[in-house]
Structure 1
Amino acid sequence: MKLSDYIEHVTGHARSIPEANVEEVVDALLNVYESGKTVFVIGNGGSAANASHFAQDLAKGTLRDPAQVRRLRALSLTDNSSFMTALANDEGYEHIFVQQLKTFARPGDLLIAISGSGNSANVLRAVEWARTNDLLTVAFTGFDGGRLHSLADINVHTELPDMCATEAIHSILFHFVAEEVKRRMAERDGKR
């Protein structure tokens, strides 16, 4: 396969994602911002890297002047290696995200779950807990969406049986969403 073929493969699948689903994610993030709540992002492997990058883009990317303007609070639960490894060792890997949510999350917060397969036990357990504890849940999935596809309140699904391409599409989506949230926050604050 040539690079141009791969790029067309990825962008072709990215174009098939309903824009309304992505718009729902942007709206959910803006609602979290307006209500002063927190965004938590989770995933495994490449999705963990995407979770970390997306949370950073949301938190750092929305910094604006003046300093007193409220910021969007976004944290990746994949980044605290001490907490994660203690939980994995003592409770089991399937508990690494749900136990962190039990510590940090509050009703009205937002959980963004990233899973190419949609079947990661630790991600599913966290989303189940979040739904029963009044957090809004968003899923970014690939392949057939797995169980996560129907479990989350909002789902952005890439019907693509290729993990690397799915993760690339997710990264594109995360960059778009972060930029759109930043743009709309600036509009709401009367700045361009």
Structure 2
Amino acid sequence: MSLIQYLQDSADLIRQAASDEMAGRVEQAIQRISAALAEDKPLLVCGNGGSASDAIHITGELVGRFLKERRALNCIALGADPGTLTAWSNDYSYETALARQVEAYGRAGGVLLGITTSGNSANVLKAAETARGKGMAVIGLTGQGGGKLKPLCDILLDAPARHTPLVQQVHACLYHYICQQVEERLAG
């Protein structure tokens, strides 16, 4: 595949994601996240591999700043602390490491944003279950269909693809827009 074809495929997928249905679900996510952060309730973000890097990216934008000067927002990237992650994983299981952090940092009225391109990452599923048990909203950022995460979500933002790199490109567009809009609503 040539670079031109790859970029055209990416652009086509982003155009496909630009639907009224997706816009409505993204608006719901922005409202949920903004409402929680306005009350200083936590936004917990998690994923594996590239999705874990996306979680760190999102929290960096919201704790720091995206485009505007404003107060820091209560946002934590689960799994970003290697000491906690490896200690729990070694002593218990990697599958429950994110759920343990939800148990520590989650609060009723907060939001968990679980990122998994397949929708089937066991540790993200466990984190979502724990978040629901704590009275948190669950937003899933997944590939097409949402996988096993779908029934655990209050809001599902599923990219219209299953090929991981293309899914992650749509995710980057969606979460940058979410960060921009959350910041816009809370900056005042």
TM-score over 0.5 (shorter chain): yes
Kept in 2, the 8 Å contact 1:33–1:71? The answer is no
Q: 2:107, 2:11 → 1: CA distance?
A: 41
Q: 1:184, 1:103 → 2: CA distance?
A: 28
Counterpart for residue 158 of structure 1:
159
Counterpart for residue 168 of structure 1:
169
Q: 1:20, 1:145 → 2: CA distance?
A: 17
Where 2:140 maps in the other structure, the secondary structure is: strand
* Number of corresponding residues: 183
> Over aligned residue pairs, what C-alpha RMSD do you find?
1.7
Counterpart for residue 69 of structure 2:
64
Identical columns (%):
31
Alignment of 1:117-136 (within 5 A): 117-136=118-137
Alignment of 1:141-152 (within 5 A): 141-152=142-153
Counterpart for residue 80 of structure 2:
79
1:17-42, Cα deviation, whole Å (9 max, x unpaired): 61010001110111012211111000
Counterpart for residue 112 of structure 2:
111
Q: 1:140, 1:36 → 2: CA distance?
A: 22
Q: 1:98, 1:183 → 2: CA distance?
A: 30
Q: 2:87, 2:12 → 1: CA distance?
A: 40
TM-score normalised by L of structure 1: 0.88
The more displaced of 89-98 and 99-108 is 99-108
1:21-80, Cα deviation, whole Å (9 max, x unpaired): 000111011101221111100001111111110111122126735xxxx53211101210
Within the candidate set 17, 35, 54, 2:58 is matched to 54
Kept in 1, the 8 Å contact 2:109–2:136? The answer is yes
Kept in 2, the 8 Å contact 1:145–1:159? The answer is no
Counterpart for residue 44 of structure 1:
48
Read off the aligned partner of 2:88 and give its amino acid letter: L
Read off the aligned partner of 1:50 and give its amino acid letter: D
For residue 109 of structure 1, report the CA deviation from its aligned partner. Answer: 1.6
1:120-143, Cα deviation, whole Å (9 max, x unpaired): 111111101111111111111103
For residue 163 of structure 1, report the CA deviation from its aligned partner. Answer: 0.5
TM-score normalised by L of structure 2: 0.90
Counterpart for residue 97 of structure 1:
98
Kept in 1, the 8 Å contact 2:34–2:186? The answer is yes
Q: 1:165, 1:13 → 2: CA distance?
A: 12
Where 1:114 maps in the other structure, the secondary structure is: strand
Moved over 4 A (4+): none
Kept in 1, the 8 Å contact 2:34–2:182? The answer is yes
The unaligned stretches of length 5 or more in structure 2 are none
Change (3 A) 1:4 1:121: closer
